[in-house]
Structure 1
Amino acid sequence: MRFLVRVAAAAVTSLLAIGSAHALTVYSSVDEENAKKLLDAFSKATGVETQMVFLSSGPALSRIEAEKANPQADVWFGAPSENHILAKERGLTEPYVSQNAAALSDEFKDKEGYWHAIYTNPLAIGVRTDILESRKAPVPTSWEDLKNPAYKGLIQMPSPQSSGTAYALILTLIDERGEDGAFDYLKAINPNVQTYTQSGTAPSGALGVGETPLAIQFTPGFLKLADEGYPVQVVFPSEGVGYEVAAMSILKGAKNVDDAKKLVDWMTSADGQGALSATKTYFLPIRSDVSGGTGVPALDKIKLVSSDPKFAAENKKRLVERWTKDVLGQ
C-alpha cells in the first residue's frame, strides 16, 4: 500500500511539473504584492502563464549565479539596474533588444539589450497642504525652499546611516552643488528637520497621520496617500531629483526564452507601463508618453539627476560618516 501511495504521489508531482513546464518562471525582486499585480496583468494581456519566486536583490543575484550551469528561472524581474549590470558582466544574462527600446531613454536600457527598465522611483517632497495652509506657510517648489525658517521642526527625512533613500539624496545634492555645497545645504536645513527616520519609507507614514507636513523619500508612499484622498501634494524640486531604476533581464540559458521576450516587450510597451498606475503600484513609468496617474507629471516633466554608481559605491562609507560628523555634529 505504501508503495502505491508513493507511486501515486510521484505521478501527481510529475503532472504538476508538466503543467508548470510551460510557465514563465520569474525571480522577482519587486515586492511580492506589486510583482503579482504586474505579472497577473501580463498574463491577462498575453495569455502567458507565470510562476514567481520572490528574492531580494542580493540573494537573487547569488542564486542566479549558483544556477548558472542549469538555470531554474527565465527572467530576473526587479532589483536596481546596477545589479543587472553586474549580472551582464558575470555572463548570467543574454541580450534581447525589445521592439520598444527606442521609446526608452539611455538610462532605462542596456544598449545591447542585456536589461530593460521596468519602472523608476524619483525622490520627492511630500507635502500636507492642509497643515501648511493652517500655518500660513508656502508649499515648497525646490530643495532651496526647505531652508525657509517657517519650516522649523516640520521636515521628516530618512537617515543615511540606515537608509539608501537618504544616501540617494546626498548623491543628488552633490551632483547639483558639489560635495561641500551639499553638506553646507544639509547643515542649513538641519534645524528644520523634526526627525531623521531609520526607514526610507517612514516619512510618508508620518505624513499620512499628520505628524509632519513635509517629508522626503522616494515617491510611491506619497502617491499612495494622494490616491487615497489625503491632502498630499507631491513636489519634484526644480533643481532636480535622484532616482532608482528597477530593471529586468532574460537569464542566459532560459528554457522559456520566447515568453521571456514577451514579458520584456509587454513591460516596456505603453500598455505594460500603463499597468503601473492601473494596478496601483505607485511606481513611475519609464516611458515619457505614459502618465504615472492623476496628479503625477510624465517623466519628461521631471528633472532627473543621475549618479555615478561607481562613485556611489566607493564613497558611501566616507560620505555617511561625513554626514554624521558635519550634520549631526557627532
Structure 2
Amino acid sequence: MFRKLVLPVVLLAILAACGGTSAASPTTVTVYSADGLADWYQARFEAFTKQTGIKVQLVEAGSGEVVSRLQKEKSNPQADVVVTLPPFIQKAAAEGLLTPYQVAGRDQVKGLKDAEGNYVAVVENYLSFIVNPARAGQVPKSFDDLLDPRYKGKIQYSTPGQAGDGTAVLLLLQLQRGKQGALDYLSKLEANNVGPSASTGKLQPKVSKGEIWVANGDVQMNLASIANDKSAFRLFFPAQPDGKRSTLSIPYTMGLGADAPNSEGGRKLMDYLLSNEAQQTVSAEAFGLPARADVTPSDANFTAVREATKGVEVIQADWTKVLADLDADVEAYNKAVAG
C-alpha cells in the first residue's frame, strides 16, 4: 500500500488502486520513492522549492510497489523521479520505465550507477536487522539463533520480491550459503515467521512495541527511527556459521521516469539531490551516507552510522545478475516457505 505522509512543506498524494495522481504542472515534480528518507526529503524538498519555485509531490511505498505502480501507469506516466532500492531500479530500467539522464555529479559516485544513465545511487545504505532486547532478553548473535523455538511468532521480515530490504535478506543468505542453502534456511525460519510484509518500514513500530521481537531493516531507516521516534530496538548483524558478520550495500537509487510529465523539473531535482550541498546533509538529516565519494560529513549521525557497521563486511552485489535471476529466485523462495 502506498503511504501518505504529513509533511508541512511537501505536497503529498495517495494513489488510488485504479487511478493516478492529478496531472503535474510545470511547477510540480512528482517523486515515487521507497520509504525511509522522509526526513531528508522534507528538508531538501523545502530547500529545492525555495531555490527553483518547483514544489515536490511525494509518494512512498515499498520498492516493489513503486515499480508495480510504474508498470500500471506506463500508458499514462505520473512519476517524474523514481527512487528505489536495488534490484528494483534495475527492473524499472529493463522494462523501459526510466529514461537516461546523466545527473550532474554522477562522476563522483563510485557505487551503483548505470553507464547509460538510467539510474545512479543517491544515498548509500546497508541491510540490517533489529531486535527489541527488552522483550527478546538478548541480542541474537547468528542467523541460526533465529531458528530457536522461543522466537515462534516473534520474527517478521519483509517479503523478497516485494520489498528491497526483504529481497536483500534473500540475496545475503544466497551469498553466504548458496541458493539452496538460503532456501533451506528460510524454510526452517518460516516456523517462527509471522508472515509476509510488503513494507520494511512498517515492521519498525511492531518491534518497538514488542508485538514482534526481530525484523529486518536497513541502517539508515533504523537509526533514524531510534533517534526520531525513540524506537525501543537496536541494530544487529547476524553472523554466519563461521562467526563472520556481513551485510549488503543497498543504496537508495534514483532515475528519471520515462515520459515524465515534468521531465525538466525532474532533472533539476535529481541534480539537486546529488549536489554537494544536499549530499552533505544526508547523514545529519536522515542517517544516510553520501553517495558521492568526495563528500565526507562530520556530524554525529555520520559517526553513528560508521560505528553501527564497524567490523561488518559490506558486500557489493552484481545487481545485473541479481535481476536476471530475480523472478526464478522469488518463485523458488515462495515455494520453499509454502512448504
TM-score (norm 1): 0.67
Aligned residues of 2:49 and 2:56 also touching (Cα < 8 A): no
Aligned residues of 1:42 and 1:48 also touching (Cα < 8 A): no
Q: Relative to structure 1, is the Cα distance of residues 215 and 251 closer, same or farther in structure 2, using a 3 angstrom cutoff?
A: closer
The answer as to 2:67 corresponding to 1:57 is yes
Structure 1 position 44, deviation (Å): 5.2
The answer as to 2:316 corresponding to 1:316 is no
Q: Relative to structure 1, is the Cα distance of residues 140 and 32 closer, same or farther in structure 2, using a 3 angstrom cutoff?
A: closer
Partner SS state of residue 113, structure 1? coil
The amino acid of 1:110's aligned partner reads D
d(CA) in 2 for partners of 1:205 and 1:26? Answer: 28
Aligned residues of 1:156 and 1:203 also touching (Cα < 8 A): no
The amino acid of 2:334's aligned partner reads V
Aligned residues of 1:156 and 1:215 also touching (Cα < 8 A): yes
Greater fraction of residues in helix? 1
Q: Which residue of 1 aligns with 2:114?
A: 110
d(CA) in 2 for partners of 1:166 and 1:28? Answer: 19
Structure 1 position 72, deviation (Å): 7.2
Q: Relative to structure 1, is the Cα distance of residues 216 and 91 closer, same or farther in structure 2, using a 3 angstrom cutoff?
A: closer
The answer as to 2:193 corresponding to 1:179 is no
Partner residue of 1:272 out of 267, 273, 278: 278
Share of identical aligned residues, percent?
19
Whichever of the two has the greater Rg, that structure is: 1
d(CA) in 2 for partners of 1:131 and 1:32? Answer: 25
- 1:95-118 Cα offsets, whole Å, 9 max, x none, are 333342233234x21123222233
d(CA) in 1 for partners of 2:145 and 2:265? Answer: 48
How do 1:153-172 residues align onto structure 2 when only pairs under 5 Å count?
153=152, 155-158=154-157, 160=159, 164=163, 165-172=165-172
How do 1:172-321 residues align onto structure 2 when only pairs under 5 Å count?
172-186=172-186, 189=189, 193=192, 195-196=194-195, 198=197, 200-201=199-200, 202-219=202-219, 222-227=222-227, 228-237=229-238, 238-242=244-248, 244-251=250-257, 259-280=265-286, 285-287=290-292, 289=296, 293=302, 295-297=304-306, 303-304=314-315, 306=317, 308-321=322-335
Structure 1 position 172, deviation (Å): 1.9
Structure 1 position 312, deviation (Å): 1.3
The amino acid of 2:121's aligned partner reads A
Q: Relative to structure 1, is the Cα distance of residues 119 and 151 closer, same or farther in structure 2, using a 3 angstrom cutoff?
A: farther
The amino acid of 2:215's aligned partner reads A
Q: Relative to structure 1, is the Cα distance of residues 141 and 104 closer, same or farther in structure 2, using a 3 angstrom cutoff?
A: farther
Structure 1 position 126, deviation (Å): 0.8
The number of equivalent residue pairs is 293
Q: CA RMSD in A?
A: 4.2
d(CA) in 1 for partners of 2:35 and 2:183? Answer: 33
Gaps of at least 5 residues in structure 1 are 1-19, 326-330
TM-score (norm 2): 0.66
Q: Relative to structure 1, is the Cα distance of residues 93 and 177 closer, same or farther in structure 2, using a 3 angstrom cutoff?
A: closer
